[in-house]
């Protein structure tokens, strides 16, 4: 049976990919990759491998999701070893589930190779444990991307986790922070980690009251992850 591998490329640092993920990159005939995939990973592709960029940015899509699905189906039907390389983990806000369903509907086998999610790795490398005994026993992962109608109805103020981790939230951060201020004290610690795991990583800390002003002063740019909760205070002791 024809097969596509959905491979998690990890949070950015190429050394944080899994061993299995690296082996598949090295043996793939076709690698279909996203914007957040570390480019250094592609250097491990074998000579002659076809590298196809299908990255998405707000307002700029190289391929629509439907076109990506068709591309994967076509390449798999050519009998090639196809790796769909995605940033982080394929099933954490990566639309990997949609791609897997589309492939299976066309009789193509799918194997998921989990990746190190930036939702966990980026705060960790910034000295922020997303759980900590006596401080945080629950975590909520949430998208900050509000482009689709369903996501616009997301009620941030109602989220009850001890730690909130927001992915893809730079553009909508002012609106998101205002929502959280409805249900949490203004003094709640917040950290924004820009370009996490990479050499260019920056960490901006503050509270719900002042984090937007601090982010604007720092001229924050995506990709960035936001962490809200008391665990942010631990960074001072860990780093």
Which pair of structure tokens corresponds to residue 236? Answer: 């001072």
How many C-beta atoms surround the C-beta of residue 90 within 10 A?
Answer: 27
H-helix or E-strand spanning residue 123: helix 118-125
Q: Which residue in the list 22, 86, 89, 168 is annotated as catalytic?
A: 168
Q: What is the dihedral of CA 57, 60, 65, 71, to 10 degrees?
A: -110
Dihedral angle sign, alpha carbons of residues 95, 96, 98, 103: positive
How far apart CA 20 and CA 234 sit, in angstroms, is 33
In 3-state terms, what secondary structure has residue 39?
A: helix
Strand order in the sheet with 82-86: 50-53, 30-33, 82-86, 3-8, 109-113
Q: Which residue in the list 13, 22, 34, 75 is annotated as catalytic?
A: 34
How far apart CA 160 and CA 170 sit, in angstroms, is 21
Q: Which residue in the list 56, 80, 181, 195 is annotated as catalytic?
A: 56
Contact partners, residue 29, CB within 8 Å, separation at least 6: 49, 50, 80, 81, 82
Which pair of structure tokens corresponds to residue 48? Answer: 């002659």
H-helix or E-strand spanning residue 228: strand 224-228
Is 89 considered catalytic here?
A: no
Which pair of structure tokens corresponds to residue 117? Answer: 């999610």
Is 34 considered catalytic here?
A: yes
Is 2 considered catalytic here?
A: no
State the catalytic residues. 34, 56, 168
């Amino acid at each position: 049976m024809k097969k596509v591998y959905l491979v998690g490329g990890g949070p950015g640092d190429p050394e944080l990919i899994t061993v299995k993920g690296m082996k598949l990159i090295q043996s793939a005939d076709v690698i279909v990759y996203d914007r957040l995939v570390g480019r250094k990973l592609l250097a491990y592709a074998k000579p002659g491998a076809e590298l196809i960029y299908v990255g998405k940015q707000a307002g700029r899509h190289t391929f629509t999701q439907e076109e990506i699905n068709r591309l994967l189906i076509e390449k798999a039907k050519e009998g090639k070893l196809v790796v769909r390389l995605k940033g982080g983990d394929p099933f954490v806000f990566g639309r990997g589930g949609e791609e897997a369903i589309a492939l299976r509907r066309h009789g193509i086998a799918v194997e998921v190779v989990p990746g190190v999610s930036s939702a966990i790795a980026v705060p960790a490398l910034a000295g922020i444990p997303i759980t900590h005994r006596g401080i945080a026993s629950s975590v909520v992962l949430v998208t900050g991307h509000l482009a689709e109608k369903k996501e616009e109805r997301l009620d941030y103020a109602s989220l009850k986790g001890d730690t909130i981790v927001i992915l893809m939230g730079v553009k909508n951060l002012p609106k998101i922070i205002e929502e959280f201020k409805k249900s949490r004290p203004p003094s709640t610690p917040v950290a924004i980690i820009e370009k996490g795991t990479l050499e260019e990583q920056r960490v901006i800390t503050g509270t719900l009251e002042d984090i937007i002003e601090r982010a604007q002063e720092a001229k924050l740019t995506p990709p960035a992850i936001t962490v809200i909760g008391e665990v942010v205070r631990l960074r001072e002791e860990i780093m």
